[in-house]
A and B are shown apart, each in its own frame.
Chain A
Amino acid sequence: MTQAVSTSADVQDVPRPTHGASARRPRSRSWVRVVVLVLGAVVFLFPFYYMLIGSLQSEPDTSLAGAFPTGGFTLENYTAINERVDLLRSLINSGIFTGGVILCTIVFGVLTGYALARLHFRGGGTLFAMMLLVQVVPFQLLIIPLYVMIVRSYGLADSYLGMILPFAINSTAVFIFRQFFLQLPEDLFAAARIDGAGELRILWSIALPLVKPALLTAALVTFIGPWNEFLWPFLITKEADLQPLAVSLANYISNIAGRAANPYGAALAGACVLAAPAVALFVAFQKYFKTSDIGSGVKG
């Protein structure tokens, strides 16, 4: 949040050098631009600020002045939510769910992406078309058959495996790997093959080190899904011990919040705990999250 203040101040500084009368038009235009950009940032960030502020106060103050408190911060909301929802256990569950999906996606996504980009094999074109198609068929619309299969037929309710299975390989990540492998020069592969390297060897020691940024980009893109997913783990976990944080927090909000002393405060404290890892990751690795990477391959 401190960064928010300093950077928006930086942005406002931009037009000042053009204060002279000679540069009237560009000045007015860039003022509009800066106002638009800063207004946008405020609209996007204010709820996050309000989440944090609300989680640190014992009495909700919804007045306009109450949005900018100067003191009286407390951590009691965090203690309150932790009594109702085992935060650590839920975070571990979210971590296992997300980690499992990322691991499967990286391992099988790299293999598939490499095959689709660099190898000619029967069915490659069909698989690529399928990969694009499944991104238009929302998984949520298949919850009934998936529920029948995973819960009723395979008895995987209340298990990490059942949670991970429908998400196991992220198709967007496969697409990203394919795009990155496609950008590598063909000469590289031809040379390696002449030297007698096998395809797996080429993939492991030549292609993979060259697409390291893709691993991070794909991991970030994949992270969003399971970490934030609510519907599927909500459907298949009845045991609180297995529920990811998104599910246990949602249960708290819909069941218990009405009876708590400061219902919003505790819910907001839980929300901060759920949001923090995602925010931290995407701030730290922001340069790996660009649609130019996601869409059409390598840059730099």
Chain B
Amino acid sequence: MTTATISPSSGGASSRGPRRGVLTTLLGRQPLGIALAAPYAVFLAAVFAYPLGLAAWISFHDYFFTAPGAPVARPFVGLDNYASALSDPGVRRSFFNVLIFLVINVPLTVLLSLLLATALNGAIRGRAFLRVSYYIPYVTASVALVAVWLFLFSKNGFVNELLGPLAPDPSWLVNSKVAMPLIALFVTWKQLGFSILLYLAALQGVPKELYESASMDGAGKFQSLRNVTIPGVRPATTLVVILATITGANLFTEPYLLTNGGGPNGASTSPVFVMYQRGIEQGNPDVAAAIGVVLVIGVLLISLVSKRLLERD
């Protein structure tokens, strides 16, 4: 197998004789690559492509959990599951909550991570320590961090002690107005370190000469930030927006644990949490699959649109 691949590869695009040419067009110059990449390709097919197809199939049928192998009819029901998903106020609320999440998370993340990355860019003592301390929340389990936030934001917790009379009433986690913003804040805090890393890498890619020529043209600090830095890190900004969308659609641990099941009264529920409730707790996987399909399409659309919007010109 290996010897067969050496001769065509060593000569670059060598095609000696017509038979080899046919094989090369069919399998590529180094067919061994197919064997090496096959496990990953199978994995992607089994864990992404097939489930995506299965989700679409389930969402168009009357589907319920049965014992393995039990023959049951699962009639085609068209868009019924989508209709019942989208007319469910709980589902709508969860989509609206993604919007709340994005409105809070995206500007905060872009602003704060750009600020901290700019401050951290360049020689400074303790730089390695600062970098690590910024991304430590990112690499720590949500469950562990939720435990300490529950403590910090409890009724008689540290944050309310700190705020004194300014503390919200009812307290954070049981207040339907601030529960979802608090989740957005938690996630922003947890994920900020990763955006800082993205911006740091992007800042290092901005050529120094651009700043020099900007200051020679008489640009001040603010102008060179606006005209050099921000356009220079635009790919990182796109990535931050896309990642925020994915995270927002994915929230589960936070509404489940931090606000005790999307509470109060569903005010901080999330799409994945609703999928879990409807699909697995209440046994309607068909409706839950429909929610999932809508979200996958939504996430892909927002990713595409933000890529277009942020990377035009």
Given contacts A121-B27, A193-B10, contact A45 B40 (CB under 8 A): no
| Residues of B with C-beta under 8 A to A190 | 10
Contact B134 A50 (CB under 8 A): no
Q: Which of A145, A201, A230 contacts B289 (CB 8 A)?
A: A145
In the complex, chain A residues 261-293 whose Cβ is within 8 Å of any chain B Cβ: 264, 267-268, 270-272, 274-275, 278-279, 281-283, 286-287, 289-292
- Asked if B262 is at the interface of the complex by the 8 Å CB criterion, the answer is no
Do A37 and B130 touch (CB < 8 A)?
Answer: yes
Q: CB < 8 Å: which of B27, B201, B288 contacts A290? A: B201
**Interface on chain A toward B: helix, strand, loop, or mixed SS?**
helix
The answer to whether B288 and A144 have CB atoms under 8 Å apart is: yes
Q: Is the CB of A187 closer than 8 A to any CB of chain B?
A: no
**A239 CA to B38 CA in the complex, in Å?**
34
Measured in the bound complex, the distance between the Cα atoms of B9 and A37 in whole Å is: 52
- Give the complex CA separation of A286 and B31 in angstroms: 38
Q: From B235, which residue of chain A is reached at the shortest CB distance?
A: A295
Q: Is the C-beta of A20 less than 8 angstroms from some C-beta in chain B? A: no
- Whether the pair B132, A282 counts as a contact (CB closer than 8 A) is yes
> Which one, B31, B141, B151, B299, contacts A138 given CB within 8 A?
B299
Complex Cα distance, B6 from A155, in Å, reads 44
A152 contacts B158, CB within 8 Å?
no
Hey, which chain A residues are within 8 Å of B279, CB to CB? 143-144, 147
Give 9 A-B contacts (CB < 8 Å), ordered by A residue: A136-B242, A136-B303, A140-B249, A141-B292, A168-B43, A198-B2, A250-B257, A274-B144, A290-B197
Knowing that A33-B119, A275-B141 are A-B contacts, what are 14 other residue pairs whose CB atoms are under 8 Å apart, sorted by A's residue number? A8-B126, A47-B148, A47-B152, A48-B148, A63-B161, A111-B37, A131-B40, A141-B271, A141-B275, A141-B295, A171-B44, A224-B139, A271-B144, A295-B198
> Which residues of A approach B to under 8 Å, CB–CB?
3-4, 7-8, 10-11, 13-14, 33, 36-37, 40-41, 43-45, 47-48, 50-51, 54, 60, 62-64, 66-67, 108-109, 111-112, 114-116, 119-124, 127, 130-131, 134, 136-149, 152-153, 155, 165-166, 168-169, 171, 174, 190, 193-194, 196-201, 224, 227-228, 230-231, 235, 246, 249-250, 253-254, 264, 267-268, 270-272, 274-275, 278-279, 281-283, 286-287, 289-292, 294-296
The 4 A-B residue pairs with the shortest CB-CB distance, nearest first, are A198-B2, A121-B33, A119-B33, A121-B28
